[in-house]
Amino acid sequence: MLQFVSLLKGNLTASIHALDSDLATSKELSFSLAHKVGRLIYNQMPTGVEVCASMNHGGPFPASTNIRTTSVGSEAITRFRRPICYQNMPAELLPTLLKD
């Protein structure tokens, strides 16, 4: 998986599906993925959107939180450059500054 992640370009989301017994392995994977995605999700599915030219909508809140870009589509990737959002991540997989 780590070799695969090293080949990835930027993506909107990535999901790690694992058991509690996999946390040690998931930790290294999550640190690697955090540099490739805008949202890192643990044991949940992302929304069904794709970064492509044919997918486009935007507008005022709540359709988009940034009026300068669309909420999905090829321009949406600019909304996820940084910071990263950790969704449903176990504390063991969070960066030190985000742990309780």
What one-character-per-residue DSSP string does 4-63 give?
HHHH---EEEEEE---GGGHHHHHHHHHHHTTTEEEEEESSPPPS---STT--B--STTS
Domain residue ranges of the chain, discontinuous segments joined by +: 2-91
In 3D space, the residue among 92, 96, 84, 94 whose CA is nearest the CA of residue 37 turns out to be: 84
Q: Tell me: the pLDDT tens digits for 51-69?
A: 666 665 555 555 555 555 5
Predicted confidence band at 49 (pLDDT cuts at 50, 70, 90)?
low
